[in-house]
Amino acid sequence: MIFGTLLKQLISRPATNPFPVKYMPKSVTGVLKKVAAGQAAIHPPVPTPKDLRGKIAYDRETCIGCGLCEKVCPARVIELYKPEGEEKNKIRMYVARCTFCAQCVDACPVNALATTEEFLLASPDRFAESLVVE
Ligand code: SF4
Ligand code: SF4
Protein backbone atom coordinates (compact mmCIF):
# COMPACT_ATOMS: atom_id res chain seq x y z
CA MET A 1 0.00 0.00 0.00
CA ILE A 2 2.71 2.42 1.03
CA PHE A 3 4.77 1.54 -2.09
CA GLY A 4 1.72 2.07 -4.26
CA THR A 5 1.27 5.55 -2.82
CA LEU A 6 4.97 6.27 -3.25
CA LEU A 7 4.89 5.20 -6.91
CA LYS A 8 1.78 7.28 -7.52
CA GLN A 9 3.49 10.32 -6.02
CA LEU A 10 6.58 9.76 -8.17
CA ILE A 11 4.68 9.76 -11.44
CA SER A 12 1.90 12.26 -10.69
CA ARG A 13 2.18 15.88 -11.73
CA PRO A 14 2.89 18.28 -8.87
CA ALA A 15 0.00 20.49 -7.82
CA THR A 16 2.31 23.50 -7.67
CA ASN A 17 4.49 25.04 -10.36
CA PRO A 18 8.01 26.46 -10.16
CA PHE A 19 6.73 29.94 -9.36
CA PRO A 20 8.08 32.59 -9.70
CA VAL A 21 11.08 31.18 -11.59
CA LYS A 22 12.04 27.68 -12.66
CA TYR A 23 15.27 27.39 -10.67
CA MET A 24 16.21 29.09 -7.44
CA PRO A 25 18.34 32.07 -8.52
CA LYS A 26 21.58 33.03 -6.79
CA SER A 27 20.14 36.45 -6.32
CA VAL A 28 16.40 37.15 -6.16
CA THR A 29 17.09 40.86 -6.61
CA GLY A 30 19.13 40.04 -9.72
CA VAL A 31 16.23 38.10 -11.20
CA LEU A 32 13.80 40.91 -10.44
CA LYS A 33 16.14 43.38 -12.15
CA LYS A 34 16.29 41.12 -15.21
CA VAL A 35 12.50 40.84 -15.22
CA ALA A 36 12.19 44.62 -15.04
CA ALA A 37 14.62 44.93 -17.96
CA GLY A 38 12.63 42.40 -20.00
CA GLN A 39 15.51 39.88 -20.00
CA ALA A 40 13.67 37.22 -17.95
CA ALA A 41 10.07 36.22 -17.46
CA ILE A 42 8.32 35.20 -14.29
CA HIS A 43 6.36 31.96 -14.45
CA PRO A 44 2.68 32.61 -13.97
CA PRO A 45 1.20 31.02 -10.83
CA VAL A 46 -0.99 27.93 -11.21
CA PRO A 47 -4.57 28.73 -12.24
CA THR A 48 -6.75 29.31 -9.22
CA PRO A 49 -9.38 26.64 -8.52
CA LYS A 50 -13.06 27.53 -8.69
CA ASP A 51 -14.37 29.23 -5.54
CA LEU A 52 -10.89 29.95 -4.19
CA ARG A 53 -11.13 31.89 -0.94
CA GLY A 54 -8.62 34.65 -1.61
CA LYS A 55 -8.39 38.22 -0.38
CA ILE A 56 -11.74 39.53 0.81
CA ALA A 57 -13.16 42.41 -1.21
CA TYR A 58 -15.16 45.09 0.59
CA ASP A 59 -17.89 47.19 -0.99
CA ARG A 60 -17.84 50.26 1.24
CA GLU A 61 -20.91 51.85 -0.34
CA THR A 62 -23.09 48.77 0.22
CA CYS A 63 -21.95 48.28 3.82
CA ILE A 64 -24.59 49.27 6.38
CA GLY A 65 -22.15 49.17 9.30
CA CYS A 66 -23.97 46.45 11.24
CA GLY A 67 -20.76 44.97 12.63
CA LEU A 68 -21.77 41.33 12.10
CA CYS A 69 -18.57 40.59 10.18
CA GLU A 70 -16.48 41.93 13.04
CA LYS A 71 -18.37 39.69 15.48
CA VAL A 72 -17.91 36.46 13.52
CA CYS A 73 -14.29 36.95 12.45
CA PRO A 74 -12.19 34.45 14.42
CA ALA A 75 -8.90 36.19 13.66
CA ARG A 76 -9.90 39.72 14.66
CA VAL A 77 -9.13 41.06 11.21
CA ILE A 78 -12.02 43.49 11.16
CA GLU A 79 -12.30 46.81 12.91
CA LEU A 80 -15.58 48.69 12.99
CA TYR A 81 -15.24 52.46 13.07
CA LYS A 82 -17.31 55.58 12.58
CA PRO A 83 -15.88 57.76 9.81
CA GLU A 84 -16.03 61.47 10.53
CA GLY A 85 -19.03 63.16 8.96
CA GLU A 86 -20.69 59.86 7.98
CA GLU A 87 -23.86 58.39 9.41
CA LYS A 88 -23.01 54.71 9.22
CA ASN A 89 -20.16 52.69 10.66
CA LYS A 90 -17.65 51.24 8.20
CA ILE A 91 -15.03 48.55 8.53
CA ARG A 92 -11.30 48.28 8.09
CA MET A 93 -9.68 44.89 7.46
CA TYR A 94 -6.11 43.97 8.35
CA VAL A 95 -5.59 41.28 5.72
CA ALA A 96 -2.26 40.08 7.16
CA ARG A 97 -4.24 38.43 9.97
CA CYS A 98 -6.90 36.87 7.74
CA THR A 99 -7.29 33.08 7.64
CA PHE A 100 -9.58 33.27 4.57
CA CYS A 101 -12.36 31.32 6.26
CA ALA A 102 -15.01 33.54 4.59
CA GLN A 103 -17.23 33.59 7.68
CA CYS A 104 -17.50 37.36 7.30
CA VAL A 105 -18.75 36.90 3.74
CA ASP A 106 -21.44 34.47 4.90
CA ALA A 107 -22.48 36.75 7.77
CA CYS A 108 -22.84 40.01 5.83
CA PRO A 109 -26.57 40.68 5.34
CA VAL A 110 -26.09 42.97 2.35
CA ASN A 111 -23.32 41.12 0.45
CA ALA A 112 -20.80 43.88 0.98
CA LEU A 113 -18.03 41.29 1.35
CA ALA A 114 -16.88 38.75 -1.21
CA THR A 115 -14.01 36.35 -1.74
CA THR A 116 -11.71 37.04 -4.67
CA GLU A 117 -9.10 35.03 -6.56
CA GLU A 118 -6.30 37.28 -5.32
CA PHE A 119 -3.84 35.23 -3.26
CA LEU A 120 -0.37 36.61 -3.89
CA LEU A 121 -0.42 38.83 -0.84
CA ALA A 122 3.02 38.50 0.72
CA SER A 123 4.58 41.75 1.87
CA PRO A 124 7.29 42.62 4.39
CA ASP A 125 4.94 45.31 5.71
CA ARG A 126 1.74 43.97 7.28
CA PHE A 127 0.24 47.45 7.13
CA ALA A 128 1.05 47.87 3.42
CA GLU A 129 -1.68 49.58 1.39
CA SER A 130 -2.51 46.26 -0.29
CA LEU A 131 -3.05 44.60 3.09
CA VAL A 132 -5.40 47.12 4.66
CA VAL A 133 -8.86 47.09 3.10
CA GLU A 134 -11.34 49.86 3.85
S1 SF4 B 1 -12.18 35.55 5.93
FE2 SF4 B 1 -12.35 34.82 8.08
S3 SF4 B 1 -10.47 35.55 9.05
FE4 SF4 B 1 -10.66 36.69 7.14
S5 SF4 B 1 -11.74 38.58 7.68
FE6 SF4 B 1 -13.30 37.11 7.07
S7 SF4 B 1 -13.96 36.10 8.96
FE8 SF4 B 1 -12.01 37.12 9.38
S1 SF4 C 1 -21.44 42.57 7.91
FE2 SF4 C 1 -21.49 43.60 5.94
S3 SF4 C 1 -22.80 45.36 6.29
FE4 SF4 C 1 -22.23 44.61 8.30
S5 SF4 C 1 -20.41 45.83 8.84
FE6 SF4 C 1 -19.69 43.95 7.87
S7 SF4 C 1 -19.44 44.50 5.71
FE8 SF4 C 1 -20.71 46.06 6.63
- What are the residue boundaries of the structural domains of the chain, listed by start? 2-36, 56-133
132 SS3 class: strand
Nearest alpha carbon to residue 98 among 113, 109, 82, 81: 113
Residues with CB under 6 A from ligand 1: 56, 72-75, 77-78, 93, 98-104
* pLDDT given at position 24: 67
Ligand 2 pocket test, pick from 62, 64, 134 with the greatest ligand atom count within 8 Å of Cβ, gives: 64
* pLDDT given at position 83: 96
* pLDDT given at position 118: 92
* pLDDT given at position 79: 97
pLDDT digits (tens, 9 = 90+) for 119-131: 889 888 999 999 9
Choose the CATH number for 56-133 among 3.40.718.10, 3.30.70.3270, 3.50.50.60, 1.10.760.10: 3.30.70.3270
pLDDT digits (tens, 9 = 90+) for 2-47: 888 888 888 888 777 777 777 767 777 888 888 889 988 888 777 8
Nearest alpha carbon to residue 70 among 50, 87, 92: 92
Alpha-carbon distance of 76 to 17, in angstroms, equals 32
pLDDT digits (tens, 9 = 90+) for 48-101: 888 889 999 999 999 999 999 999 999 999 999 999 999 999 999 999 999 999
Alpha-carbon distance of 91 to 109, in angstroms, equals 14
